[in-house]
């Protein structure tokens, strides 16, 4: 018995000795930056403390020819995708076939009350043109509050009834808070894998595009949308059109025209600048708009108000359509539905998913006539450490 007790004590002593030695070795790895020695750079945190894993990155890719027509005859081997300059292996490829999970986000503020009769008639367009036969949708309304009016369902009648019974609320417009709710709802829908098709996550917003009173910022919402592979589409409701049909009210937002992007700090806003940034007259608008989207995501800001829908769409690979001139609300929804069922979906697992910071995604087409094709995809996504 004494021999057994002695052996047990010795084993316990060896265990604690090993544990102490292990703790000493682990203790050699600093938990944060150390004060640098004179002339030496500051030590960075160990990589194993900031590693972030991204299971899957999905980007919608819209390809049009020189006449603006959708291109439908590309295969997976016609595409090249890079993540921070590193070529990626496409694990999932689809052309308009993956079923859609859709959140319909509708502004119900008193400012757009004159447009509400038109909006209430759009339910069948959402179910027939956007959702399609295999899709599902949910409906969220927002003004000074954000209200879930219909949870996800594939029942077309429920979606159409929710749209038909939209009611006008207060004058506020918590757009960014509503977007955050929509992204969170979509984050739970199944994604594509190598074995299963999954669902495309789409947030479709009907709004003026100006935020009033949200706690969330546009930048942080777009960060989450990018990480959750949510594509944002916008139908810009015309404040001007609404005000022509109602009593004038003080404008909200930046005071710039609807759709205008505030200029960089220190640069005055001019018609020429606005035309160039918004793509009027071929002034390189998409590039500037993309840069604005990337900047807002990187800085988690809400600097752009009048063009929030355009920036959100650019940041996630979607599109934003204005209804100010010849395009009606119904036509805009129809165009979005047509694009969703005619675009490519590319997915990959990043080969360097532990690299924090902004990841730039570039999609190119490898084909003889590639120079004549116009490609639209999401610009990237932002990764932070668990602590930041």
Tokens of 303: 């600097």
Rg, Å, the chain Cα set: 25
pLDDT at 194: 66
Above pLDDT 90, what percent of the chain?
A: 58
Rounded to 5°, the CA angle 167-173-175 comes to 110
Decide if 118 is inside a domain: yes
Specify the long-range contacts of residues 266-272, CB closer than 8 Å, at least 24 apart. Answer: none
- pLDDT of residue 301 exceeding 50, the answer is yes
Question: 324 and 358, same structural domain?
Answer: no
Residues 206 and 303 in one domain: yes
Contacts of 153 (CB under 8 A, 6+ apart): 136, 137, 138, 159
Asked, for residue 18, whether it belongs to a domain, the answer is: no
pLDDT for 197-206, tens place per residue?
A: 789 999 999 9
Q: What is the mean pLDDT of the chain?
A: 79
Whether 284 is in a domain gets the answer yes
pLDDT of residue 128: 96
Residues 150 and 199 in one domain: yes
- How confident is the model over 350-360, as pLDDT tens digits? 987 678 889 99
Please report which confidence band the pLDDT of residue 286 belongs to, taking 50, 70 and 90 as the band edges.
very low
Flag whether 262 is in a domain.
no
How far apart are alpha carbons 97 and 74 in whole angstroms? Answer: 14
Residue 205 covered by a domain = yes
Q: What is the structure's pLDDT at 246?
A: 54
Q: Is residue 288 part of a domain?
A: yes
pLDDT confidence tier of residue 281, bands split at 50, 70 and 90 = very low
The least confident of 138-147, 151-160, 260-269 is 260-269
Regarding whether 65 and 158 lie in a shared domain, the answer is no
Sign of dihedral through CA atoms 318, 323, 326, 330? positive
Report the pLDDT averaged over residues 62-80.
95
CATH number at residue 121: 3.40.50.410
Query: Is a pLDDT exceeding 70 seen at residue 124?
Result: yes
Entry field: residues in the chain: 388
Say yes or no to pLDDT of 112 above 60: yes
The pLDDT of residue 206 is 97
Q: Output the pLDDT for position 34.
A: 39
Look at residue 185 and tell me whether its pLDDT is greater than 80: yes
Percent residues over pLDDT 70 in the chain: 69
Model confidence band, residue 187 (pLDDT cutoffs 50, 70, 90): very high
Residues 242 and 47: their CA atoms lie apart, in Å, by 54
111 and 87 together in one domain: no
pLDDT of residue 292: 85
3-state SS assignment for residue 235: strand
Average pLDDT over residues 123-131: 97
173 vs 264, higher pLDDT: 173
Dist CA 286 CA 379 (whole Å): 11
Q: What is the pLDDT of residue 207?
A: 95
In angstroms, rounded to a whole number, what is the distance separating the alpha carbons of residues 365 and 374? 10
Once rounded to an integer, what is the mean pLDDT over residues 19-31? 36
Domain that holds residue 158: 98-247+269-341
Q: Is 191 in the same domain as 74?
A: no
What pLDDT is stored for residue 215 in this prediction?
Answer: 95
Mean pLDDT of 99-106: 97
Look at residue 348 and tell me whether its pLDDT is greater than 50.
yes
Q: Tell me the CA distances in angstroms from 214 to 142, 144, 174, 254, one per residue in order.
A: 11, 9, 5, 15
Claim to verify: residue 216 and residue 235 sit in the same structural domain:
yes
- What is the predicted pLDDT for the residue at 346? 94
In a domain, 106, yes or no: yes
Based on the fold, state whether residues 66 and 128 are members of the same structural domain: no
Q: Tell me: do 360 and 329 sit in the same domain.
A: no
**Residue 82, token pair as written in the block:** 């890079």
Angle between helices 175-187 and 308-316 (to 10 degrees): 20
Q: Would you state the pLDDT for residue 129?
A: 96
Least confident of 34-48, 49-63, 170-184, 233-247: 34-48
Residue 13: pLDDT above 70? no
Please tell me the total count of domains within the chain: 2
Same domain, 129 and 75: no
Return the sign of the alpha-carbon dihedral for residues 376, 57, 311, 128: positive
Question: Do residues 85 and 209 share a domain?
Answer: no
Q: 173 and 280 in one domain?
A: yes
Mean pLDDT of the region 204-223: 94
DSSP 266: T
Instruction: Assign 53 a pLDDT band (cuts: 50, 70, 90).
Output: low
- Predicted pLDDT of residue 77: 96
Residue of 325 and 198 predicted with greater confidence: 198
Domain boundary among 323, 341, 359: 341
29 in a structural domain: no
């Amino acid at each position: 018995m004494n021999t057994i007790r002695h052996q047990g004590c010795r084993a316990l002593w060896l265990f604690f000795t090993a544990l102490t030695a292990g703790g000493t070795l682990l203790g050699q790895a600093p938990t944060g930056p150390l004060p640098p020695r004179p002339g030496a750079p500051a030590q960075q945190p160990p990589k194993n403390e900031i590693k972030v894993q991204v299971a899957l990155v999905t980007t919608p890719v819209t390809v049009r020819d020189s006449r603006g027509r959708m291109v439908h005859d590309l295969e997976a081997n016609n595409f090249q995708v890079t993540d921070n300059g590193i070529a990626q292996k496409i694990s999932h490829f689809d052309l308009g076939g993956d079923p859609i999970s859709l959140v319909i986000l509708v502004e119900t503020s008193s400012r757009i009350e004159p447009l509400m009769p038109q909006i209430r008639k759009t339910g069948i367009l959402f179910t027939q043109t956007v959702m399609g036969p295999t899709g599902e949708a949910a409906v969220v309304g927002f003004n000074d509050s954000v209200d879930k009016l219909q949870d996800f369902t594939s029942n077309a009648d429920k979606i159409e009834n929710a749209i038909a019974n939209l009611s006008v609320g207060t004058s506020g417009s918590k757009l960014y808070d509503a977007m955050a709710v929509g992204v969170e709802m979509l984050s739970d829908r199944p994604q594509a894998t190598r074995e299963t098709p999954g669902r495309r996550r789409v947030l479709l917003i009907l709004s003026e595009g100006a935020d009033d009173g949200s706690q969330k910022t546009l930048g942080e919402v777009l960060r989450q949308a990018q990480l959750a592979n949510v594509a944002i589409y916008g139908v810009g409701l015309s404040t001007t059109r609404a005000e022509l049909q109602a009593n004038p009210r003080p404008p909200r937002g930046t005071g710039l025209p609807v759709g205008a992007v505030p200029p960089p700090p220190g640069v005055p806003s001019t018609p020429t600048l606005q035309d160039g940034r918004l793509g009027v007259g071929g002034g390189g608008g998409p590039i500037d708009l993309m840069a604005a989207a990337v900047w807002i995501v990187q800085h988690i800001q809400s600097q752009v108000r009048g063009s929030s829908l355009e920036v959100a769409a650019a940041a996630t690979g979607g599109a934003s359509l204005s209804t100010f001139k010849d395009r009606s609300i119904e036509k805009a929804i129809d165009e979005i539905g047509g694009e969703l069922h005619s675009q490519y979906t590319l997915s990959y697992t990043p080969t360097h998913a532990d690299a924090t910071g902004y990841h730039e995604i570039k999609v190119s087409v490898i084909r003889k006539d590639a120079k004549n094709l116009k490609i639209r995809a999401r610009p990237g996504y932002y990764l932070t450490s668990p602590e930041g």
